[in-house]
Amino acid sequence: MKKYNVGILLFPDIETLDFAGPFEVFSVASELNNFELFNVFTIAKTNAPVQSVHGLSVNPSYSFLNHPKIDILIIPGGFGTRKVVKDYDIMNWVKKNHNSTQLTLTICTGAMVLGALGLLDKIEYTTHHLLFDEMKNFAPKGILLKGHRFVDSGKIQTSAGITAGIELSLHTVAKFFGDKVAKETANYMEYVT
Please tell me the predicted confidence (pLDDT) of residue 193: 67
Q: Are strands 50-51 and 57-58 parallel, antiparallel or unpaired?
A: antiparallel
Query: What are 110-139's pLDDT values in tens digits?
Result: 999 999 999 999 999 999 999 999 999 999
Domain with 174, as residue range(s), is 4-189
Which residues make Cβ contacts (< 8 Å) with residue 121, sequence separation at least 6?
139, 141, 142
* Alpha-carbon distances of 31 from 20, 156, 185, rounded to whole Å: 16, 26, 9
Query: What are 25-63's pLDDT values in tens digits?
Result: 999 999 999 999 999 999 999 999 999 999 999 999 999
pLDDT exceeds cutoff 90 at 1: no
Radius of gyration of the chain (CA): 15
pLDDT band at 177 (very low <50, low <70, confident <90, very high): very high
Phi-psi region of 84 (alpha: psi -120 to 50; beta: other; left: phi over 0): alpha
| Mean pLDDT on 133-161 | 96
The pTM assigned to this predicted structure is 0.97
- What CATH number did the domain enclosing 117 receive? 3.40.50.880
Overall domain count for the chain = 1
Please tell me the predicted confidence (pLDDT) of residue 37: 98
182 CB-contact burial (10 Å; exposed 0-12 / middle 13-18 / buried 19+): buried
Query: What are 49-107's pLDDT values in tens digits?
Result: 999 999 999 999 999 999 999 999 999 999 999 999 999 999 999 999 999 999 999 99
